[in-house]
Amino acid sequence: MNRSTDTAQEGDEAVSHNLNGQRLGRKGRDTRERILAAAIELLESSEDESISLSAVARKASLGMTSLYNYFTDLTELLLAVLEPVMATAEEAYVAMLRERWPDEEVGARCYQFLRGYYNFWLRHSRLLHLRNLMSDNRDERMLMHRVQSSQPMIALLAAQMDNSGEETDTMAYAMATVLITGIERTITVATDSRFTKVFGSGNRYQPEHYLKPEARLMELAIRDTRDSMAGGGSG
């Protein structure tokens, strides 16, 4: 979850005012960056340490009044932390879907994609798990973020199945939606450290236990839908 200096600078440039409408000077940008760094530090520390605005304020050595000048609530703060993280998704796994996979390489490409997706989640596990937890608890902004982050993958996967990726009322798009939903859930389970705490490390499955079967299901779905489309099938 480490952020590069360049990314931090880009984030500073994108936010020009605090929530009181005051233009951010260097001190204001530094304070905002300090808050984000404190949140990241908490997320990367022991999962037993709670994440809250008050915990972030303590970590950043700021009063709550100062923190509220920059973020109205925990969701807004975490969305700001998520922004540079999700900017790396393209290189980590999304770009793999942009090139059409040759028929003879579909199985290998599915596994490579899943491995990239898994590694991304592993690097940012607590943040992404927290986003999904908040989404499941009906935080509408987190739900929107979760949905929007999956939409490019759904469209690109539909295109892998010989669909334009723009037509949503097709078998290919429906299949891609179901696949990405299942893949996210599988990767969520594979990277959730709570299972180790509950069942013990001896009962913790290795990543391949999840990745290989999921890659096979993904391969079969792509091949089947390609065959259906080639044979004149429709949604």
Q: What is d(CA 97, CA 49) in angstroms, rounded to the nearest whole number?
A: 37
Map out the domains of the chain with their CATH numbers. Answer: 5-81 (1.10.10.60), 88-230 (no CATH)
Confidence of residue 146 (pLDDT cuts 50, 70, 90): very high
pLDDT value, residue 13: 45
- Quick: pLDDT tens for 27-61: 888 999 999 999 999 999 866 667 899 999 999 99
Mean pLDDT (whole number) for 166-175: 88
Contacts 24+ apart (CB under 8 A), 142-149: 142/75, 142/78, 142/79, 145/79, 145/82, 149/86, 149/89
Residue type, 73: D
Instruction: Answer whether residue 172 shows pLDDT above 80.
Output: yes
pLDDT value, residue 157: 96
Reduce the DSSP state of residue 169 to 3 states and report it: coil
Mean pLDDT (whole number) for 179-207: 82
Q: Give the residue, 67 or 234, on which the prediction is more confident.
A: 67
pLDDT value, residue 10: 42
Q: Give the residue, 8 or 160, on which the prediction is more confident.
A: 160
Q: Which residues contact 80 (CB under 8 A, 6 or more apart)?
A: 11, 36, 71
pLDDT value, residue 111: 98
Residue type, 37: A
Q: Left (φ > 0), alpha (ψ -120 to 50) or beta: where does 17 sit?
A: beta
| Cα four-point dihedral sign 188, 193, 196, 199 | negative
